[in-house]
Structure 1
Amino acid sequence: MPLTRRKILASGAAVAAAMAAPMLRAQGRPRVVVIGGGAGGATAARYIAKDSDGAIDVTLIEPTRSYYTCFFSNLYLGGFREIDSLAHSYGRLASDHGINVVHDWATGIDRDARTVALAGGGAVPYDRLIVAPGIDFVDGAVPGWSLAAQNAMPHAYKGGSQTELLKARVAAMPEGGTFVMVAPPNPYRCPPGPYERVSMIAHYLREHNPTAKILIADPKEKFSKMALFQEGWNDNYPGMVDRIGPDFGGADVEVRPETMEVVIDGEVVKADACNVIPAMKAGHIVHAAALTEGNWAPVVPATMQSRMDENIHILGDAAAQGDMPKSGFAANSQAKVAAMAVRGALTGSRVFPAKFSNTCWSLIDTDNGVKVGASYTATDEKIASVDSFISQTGETADLRAATYRESLGWYDAIAADMFG
């Protein structure tokens, strides 16, 4: 079935700006544009530029000058890291690899002309486009909550200022106060993330506000590493954490940010701090460019190409690809497969069979780390899990400490892999 193309721009203003401003064009070399400078986008840009040895012109479009990782942000909430340790610059991508880093918003994709419109004016042409926009939130997913309420009830599921705000809210809780988390439905970014967050906030409260309580309203019957987290909460934070699953109203939640109330199955709970993590969807630009089915963007597993447009590759959280979780490690792994496919298409370089891997580490308490992960292969239908592993309940303190140290090494390695 032939692929269709549609001309999509986000707004009339973007169209006018793109028509009025000159095109930013490279001469002679094939052009790759990458939208989004996170674990998927930054890695893809770096590998294409590095491994093509200058044969491909690479432009990375990312509005922020410092990227704050969402992964490991829970450790900041728990007091194990400083916020600055999560911040990374794009300078070495430009200086070491010759990538043209454009700090601007990509506002639209013209799939016929193969250009990306910028909020600041102009259009960037591409021969291949990589889109790695991360997540946005589903409107109305939690009744009473919207982005307008994110200061009162932070989501903190995008790294940076929201993470700092949530920590400030927890620190300001009165003695014996109540922290409420509204957990998200599947699928969402970093499946163990909300529950590591509970662990880290419990660690902080045990040290600073030991009579405080944590209440989780959860629409899911089960969650990633469930037995490990429950063991950890019972052993390290006894009596502090209470989870309400769907059988007891965890899927029937309304929030009232103005009065800091959470209504769970009709019962009103007064929250001293509240973390609302809504249902998620692919970043806005893939929806605007008609690259989605439902909330996510379907891709060809072997190349991460969009099933709607063979000249576009979609990475990370935004992609509907099969068995891989939405995680920083997964996005980094997918980026390398996409980078190889793009180089092969544009320069004729050799393309090897796609292989993927992922590990998600979580910290439960000091030196108490657990992990889950798998390796994957590409089938015609999806990225399929080949084998998997998970930490076990009852592990020794030495093994848990070694797992935590392993996670620290991974963080340093992936940061270097993304940003040079």
Structure 2
Amino acid sequence: MKLDRRAFIGTGAAAAAALSAPHVRAASHGKPKVVVVGGGAGGATAARYIAKDSNGEIDVTLVEPTRMYYTCFFSNLYIGGFRELSSIGHSYGGLAKQGVNVVHDWAVGIDRDAKTVTLAGGAVLPYDKLVLSPGIDFVDGAVPGWSVAAQNKMPHAYKAGSQTELLKAQIESMPAGGTFAMVAPPNPFRCPPGPYERVSMVAHLLKNINPTAKIIVADPKPKFSKMALFQDGWSRHYDGMIDWIGQDFGGDKVEVNADEMTVSIDGEVTKVDACNVIPAMKAGKICDMAGITDGRWAPVDGHSMVSKMDENIHVLGDSCSQGDMPKSGFSANSQAKVCAMAVRGALTGSKVFPAKFSNTCWSLLDTDDGVKVGATYKATDEKIAKVDGFISQVGEDDALRKQTFEESVGWYAGITADMFG
């Protein structure tokens, strides 16, 4: 079935329509206040649904430093030449029109006792419920020789926008027959198929502009998401171009030198012309500042996405540790709707239904050659647990692969409308 914008948004709207009308619980300071930190697939969706479904009876403030949000999902298609950068950029005007108070600033402190968020500009925002969806940060020292200070020479491009532009420009500037290297991240990380779709898109670009170029992938893992599908696609479309070096062959023993543009894999040093370093990841820094992480991620209760360390804080998307769901835009959007319903229930007494979740991750291998993996999930007292799943199969015909790609385009239109209004 082709998933279009109307069908995608309908999955959330049906549940929202069934919710009872809000009856706001009295608060000494007037309307209940919700502050949402982070304006991506989790935060933007949560802010929009809380504001929309409470009919203005909850005061919702979204804190997001960027005025234009570039989605990490579909950014690989920009690298491959299938999208313009402007097509993955989104502003927050739609949310403002729907009653969300959008504040472009950095959240730099959380006082859990006072229930306030402090912004870099000096403002202090009180909250009854706080939703944190800040995405990822990187683990210091995860790749020896690399730090955020080296990201202009060896981009991570795992926060989309200028980094994505920079990486594509570096690939396009490679000499004929040059070498592109990727250092892939360890589990768990944002978008499990993402690095390997990126390899496919880099290969597609190089096949067109630099066909004798080579790609090296140093991977600390013995296997990766959709591995058989990607490796089949690489052999069909980019035969001989891509060398994947997994854990068994030293892919977990990597050092880089950004000044000399070298990558050392198990002691063997290779001079490269462009290098994409994707380090180990952790919850966005504000989660650590709030004191709600286990050192890397923020544990949550799957029934409501509420922090296991603070009943007034909910954590969504890449930053949370919740069980079986992958860290993806689709997952964050799905979790945000459950969170929004729980927040509304807590603040207005409206009905809360059992939490259900879904996720699909599409990847493009080459022109009209799309594959996908996905599952449905339910909340248990222990975690968000997988119920069932599906995955594309090696050997599918061209028509089905094209349909899968077109389905992903429909989903992108749907989820961004659902996020940003």
Class of the TM-score when normalised by the shorter of the 2 chains: over 0.9
Report matched runs for 1:385-396 at 5 Å.
385-396=386-397
Number of the residue aligned with 1:57: 59
Number of the residue aligned with 1:3: none
Query: Is 2:257 the counterpart of 1:256?
Result: yes
Number of the residue aligned with 1:14: none
Distance 1:328 1:199 in 2: 20
Report matched runs for 1:169-184 at 5 Å.
169-184=170-185
Number of the residue aligned with 2:93: 91
Residues 26 and 406 of structure 1: CA distance in aligned 2, closer, same or farther (over 3 Å): farther
Report matched runs for 1:348-363 at 5 Å.
348-363=349-364
AA paired with 1:256?
A: N
Would you say the 8 A contact 1:49–1:57 is kept in 2?
yes
Distance 1:262 1:301 in 2: 40
1:243-283 per-residue CA deviation (whole Å, 9 max, x = no partner) reads 11111110000000000000110000111000000000000
Number of the residue aligned with 2:138: 137
Number of the residue aligned with 1:118: 119
AA paired with 1:49?
A: A
Number of the residue aligned with 2:309: 308
AA paired with 2:276?
A: N
What's the TM-score once normalised by structure 1's chain length?
Answer: 0.93
Distance 2:321 2:255 in 1: 29
Number of the residue aligned with 1:29: 31
Report matched runs for 1:247-326 at 5 Å.
247-326=248-327
Would you say the 8 A contact 1:26–1:57 is kept in 2?
no
Distance 1:98 1:333 in 2: 21
AA paired with 2:32?
A: P
Would you say the 8 A contact 1:187–1:280 is kept in 2?
yes
Distance 1:304 1:115 in 2: 20
- Work out which structure has the larger RCO, using CA pairs closer than 8 Å and 6 or more positions apart in sequence: 2
SS of equivalent to 2:125? strand
SS of equivalent to 1:376? strand
AA paired with 2:250?
A: G
Number of the residue aligned with 1:22: none
SS of equivalent to 1:298? strand
Number of the residue aligned with 2:9: none
SS of equivalent to 1:34? strand
Report matched runs for 1:37-52 at 5 Å.
37-52=39-54
Number of the residue aligned with 1:164: 165
AA paired with 1:38?
A: G
CA positional deviation for 1:47: 0.2
Distance 1:419 1:402 in 2: 26
AA paired with 2:342?
A: A
Query: Is 2:227 the counterpart of 1:209?
Result: no
Number of the residue aligned with 2:382: 381
Distance 1:370 1:404 in 2: 7
Runs of 4+ in structure 1 off by over 2 angstroms are: none
CA positional deviation for 1:294: 2.4
AA paired with 1:333?
A: S
Number of the residue aligned with 2:6: none
CA positional deviation for 1:27: 5.1
Number of the residue aligned with 2:226: 225
Number of the residue aligned with 2:413: 412
CA positional deviation for 1:319: 0.2
SS of equivalent to 1:98? coil
Distance 2:321 2:220 in 1: 21
| Structure 1: gaps (5+ residues) | 1-24
CA positional deviation for 1:26: 10
SS of equivalent to 1:290? coil
1:75-125 per-residue CA deviation (whole Å, 9 max, x = no partner) reads 000000000001001001111x11110000000100000000000002000
Number of the residue aligned with 1:200: 201
| Structure 2: gaps (5+ residues) | 1-26
Distance 1:27 1:103 in 2: 24
Would you say the 8 A contact 2:288–2:295 is kept in 1?
no
What's the TM-score once normalised by structure 2's chain length?
Answer: 0.93
SS of equivalent to 1:210? coil
1:326-358 per-residue CA deviation (whole Å, 9 max, x = no partner) reads 000000000000000000000000000000000
CA positional deviation for 1:164: 0.2
AA paired with 1:315?
A: L
Q: CA RMSD in A?
A: 0.9
Would you say the 8 A contact 2:154–2:276 is kept in 1?
yes
Name the count of aligned residue pairs: 395
